[in-house]
Amino acid sequence: MMGKKDASAAFLDILAELSASRLTVSALVKEIGAMGGLPPAVREIGKEVSALLEKGYTLSAAFSLCSRSEFSPEDLSLVLCAEETGNYGEVFKFLAGIHRKRRDAGARLALSAVYPCFVFLLVTGATAGILLNARTLFPLGASLLEDRSFLASALGNVAGAWVFMLIFALGSFGAALWVNRLPGTYYVFSILGFLTGAGLDVERALGPAIAGAAGRERLWAALVRAQDAMRAGATLENAFGAEGMFAGARFFLQTAMVNGEAGRAFTLFAAQIEGRCRARARLFLRLIEPAMLVAAGIYMLLVLKGTVLPLMLNFGGIL
67-71, 85-89, 220-224, range with the lowest pLDDT: 85-89
In this predicted structure, the answer to whether residue 210 has a pLDDT above a threshold of 70 is yes
Count of residues in the chain:
319
Contact 68, 56 (CB under 8 A): no
- pLDDT tens, position by position, 285-314: 788 778 878 888 888 787 777 776 776 666
Instruction: Output 192 or 137, whichever has higher pLDDT.
Output: 192
Separation CA 231–CA 7 (nearest Å): 39
Contact 264, 197 (CB under 8 A): yes
> How is the chain split into domains, by residue range?
1-71, 73-319
Q: Is 78 exposed, middle or buried (0-12, 13-18, 19+ CB in 10 A)?
A: buried
Separation CA 160–CA 87 (nearest Å): 60
